[in-house]
Structure formats: C-alpha cells, structure tokens
Amino acid sequence: MTPDQEHTRDDGGPAPEELGPAASRGEFVLAFAAMLYRAYGLVQMLAVVLFSGHDYASGPPMLWFTLAVAVESLTVVVVCFRRRRIHPGLMALDTAWIAAALFVGAALTQAPSGQGWVDYMYTYSIITSVGIGFAYKRYPVVLAFTIGLAGAYVLSDWWIQHVPLTSALPNAVSYFTNTAVTWAVSRYLRRVNREADVSRAEALARAEALAKEQERSRHARILHDRVLQTLETLARGEWVGDPEFRGHIAAEAAWLRALVEGAGPDQAGDLLAGLQRLVSHKAKMGLRVEFNSAQLRESDAWRDGVSPEVTAALVDAAQEALTNVAKHAGVDEATMRAGIIDHQVIVSILDQGCGFDPATARRGIGLAESIRRRMADAGGAASVDSSPGTGTYVELTAPLTGH
C-alpha cells in the first residue's frame, strides 16, 4: 500500500476515524474552501436572477428552480460543516444533482439577444466542481465525476440550447482544470498533514518511553544505593558465617543487579538474560562474577543479529570458562564483559588466579577442547591467554548475522 492509499476508503474519500489531529484539521480546511467557492457560486447565481430575471421567458418556474438549487447547496454546506469534512457520498449526490440541474437550467433559460452567460447553471457548476477535487483522494474517481459533469453540460448545451459542439467542448475544459488543480492541492495538503501526524505520534511515543525510562532509572538508583550495595557487602564480607546462606545472598544480589540494569533476566533465548542467569547461578556456587554489559544494555539493535544457536554457544562457553575459574584458578571472583565490536559479539572472562601454561595443560581442563569446539560449531571462535601466576583471559567471539 502506498502512502497515498493509507487512510482511504473504497470510494476514494478519507476515513475520518483514522485521521490524526493535523489531518482532521486539513480535511476541515478543504471543506471550508469548497464551501467558500459554493457560496460564491450561489451569490453569482442569485445576482443573475435578481438583476436579470426579467429577461427570462420561463418566469416563476425558473425562480422555483433557482430556490431548489440554493436549498440543495445550503444543505451541502451545513452537512460539511457539521462533519468538518467533505463527505464523498454527499459529493457524489451533489454532482448528480448539478448534472441534472444543468439540463433543467438549460431548458428554463432562453438567451435573448445580446444576453451573455444566460445559463447561470454552467457558471455555478464550474465554481462548485472544485468540491470534486477536494473530496476524493484517487484521481481516477475525480476524473470519472468530472467527465460526468462536463458531459452533462456539453449534452444539455448542444441538445437543449443548440450550442455548437465547437463552442461547448472548449467550455467544458474548465471542469477538468478546476478538479485537477484542487485534487493536486488537496493531495499535497493531506500528505503534509499525514507526515505531521506521524511525527507527532513518534514524538509522543519517545516522550512516553523517556518518562518510563526516567522513572525506572529513579527506582533503579534507589535499589542500587540502598538495597543492592547492602546485599553485595553481605555476600563478600564475614558478617554472614554460613557459606550456603552467603551464596544465596550473592545470587539474590546478582538477580537484583540484573533487574536494576534493566536487562530482563527472565527472558529465555536472550544473550544478556542468559549471561545474567549464569552470573546468578555462579554466585550460588560461591563464585562472584562482576558482569559488565553496559554496551548491550544501551541498545537493542544487536538482538536480531544474535541467533539462538549463537546465544546458546556463548552462554555455554562462558559457563565452561567460569567453571574452570572455580575449579582451577584458586580465586572466588572473576570479571565478565559482553559487547559488540566490528559487527561481532564478544564475551570475555578474566580472572586473577594462578593461571596455567596452555601448551602443557591437560585437555580435560576444558579450555582447549570444549570451549573452542562449542564456539566453532556455532560459527564463532574462542581464544585463551594465560600463563602461570598471571591469571587467565578467555575471549569468545561470534559474528552478528546480516553483516
């Protein structure tokens, strides 16, 4: 669907229930402009009747006909103002009425010698035809109504008033000019108003999201400054003598940190959530993991580029690396970082433990086989940097899909 077809009904008119504030105002502006033209047409028609009515032979029938045209026109004005737009169905009926009135007007107006513009319905129909261009969004609909109105004029002039087609046809061009110009103007106005409504909706959505984020940040600061620091202090210190209970406190602190950092640790299949669940699990086992995931939390753009397979590989490999820290490093804490660099997701694990010599380490220690094989199966890679007495650094990388 093209932008010009959005918010359009089958009859080519606008669907008001879907219009935004700017578009609604634009429809009222178009209706108001069309009604001003119609008022001008009525003034012109009544002026002809009042000042030149005695020149017409039809007399009273012509006056009653003029009154009927005026009443119909005023009805259209009232309905459009009440609805604050031009109703397409009403405009179709109005066009049919004016087309019929062209025949009646041609029969009632007889041109005396020297009288110009005696068939005032022609001038009136030309002026009011702008409503066709304003009412419909699809030009084929506008063109169809214009052809019908212009055809009624040409036929009535040629058949009833015996005007040569060489004169009637050039006069009919004005119908097409009027409706084409007004359709182009209304199309531009509708597009501008639609864009204004989209911009307004986006601004409101951004403002609402910002307000929610500010409120979440306020709550997060309170939890971080009051509750989280207390839990982490208890988990690290000697105030709690029971190791199992201290591990439980550490796990709860890890969960609360995930909540404060806004990562949604309960979301299955999400890399950030999986890593934070891993941090919480290791805390229960007595290994405190400082997790830095600021880059991933600042944007969601990376999420579509990390497949479930890659997520599982990264989380499993990180778990294996942390398990090796707990079993072999001789320390009870490690640092894990996750981020995006050069279209690759990178997870690194660092400990300050005893380290080892990769060249002589037993294969069963996990790093040489399990981690590298797991990452390779998912299209990624793993590197290990360690030496005795300097700790161990493990880096897991996987390309983002689509890059």
pLDDT tens digits for range 81-120: 888 889 899 999 999 999 999 998 888 775 554 444 456 7
Containing 73, the helix (H) or strand (E) segment is helix 60-83
The conformational region for residue 346 under phi > 0 = left, psi -120 to 50 = alpha, else beta, is beta
Q: H helices within 237-299, ranges in order?
A: 243-260, 271-284, 294-298
User: CB burial class (10 A; 0-12, 13-18, 19+) of residue 248?
Assistant: middle
CA distances from 206 to 128, 192, 201, 213, 216 (A): 44, 21, 9, 10, 15
120-128 vs 60-83: helix crossing angle, rounded to 10? 10
Three-class SS of residue 159? helix
Beta bridge partners of 347: 338, 396
pLDDT at 56: 61
Please give the DSSP secondary-structure letter assigned to residue 113.
Answer: T
pLDDT at 52: 65
pLDDT tens figures, 260-302: 665 554 444 478 888 888 888 888 778 888 988 888 877 777 7
Spatial distance between the Cα atoms of 237 and 142, rounded to a whole number of angstroms: 81
Instruction: Tell me which residue has tokens 């359009």.
Output: 8
The gap from C-alpha 284 to its chain's centroid, in whole angstroms, comes to: 45
pLDDT tens figures, 145-194: 999 999 999 998 888 878 888 888 998 999 999 999 999 999 999 999 88
CA distances from 136 to 13, 30, 98, 185 (A): 5, 11, 17, 12
Question: To the nearest whole number, what is the mean pLDDT of the chain?
Answer: 81
pLDDT at 40 over 70: yes
CA distances from 259 to 233, 299, 336 (A): 18, 16, 17
Judge whether 322 and 304 are in contact, CB under 8 Å. no
Q: Which of 138, 163, 143, 142 minimizes the C-alpha distance to 153?
A: 163
Spatial distance between the Cα atoms of 35 and 47, rounded to a whole number of angstroms: 18
Amino acid making up residue 77: V
Superfamily of domain 237-399: Histidine kinase-like ATPase, C-terminal domain (3.30.565.10)
CA distances from 298 to 16, 27, 50, 262 (A): 39, 42, 75, 10
Q: Where are the domains of the chain?
A: 3-204, 237-399
The winner for highest mean pLDDT among 57-61, 161-165, 369-373 is 161-165
Q: Six-digit token pair at 285?
A: 């086992």
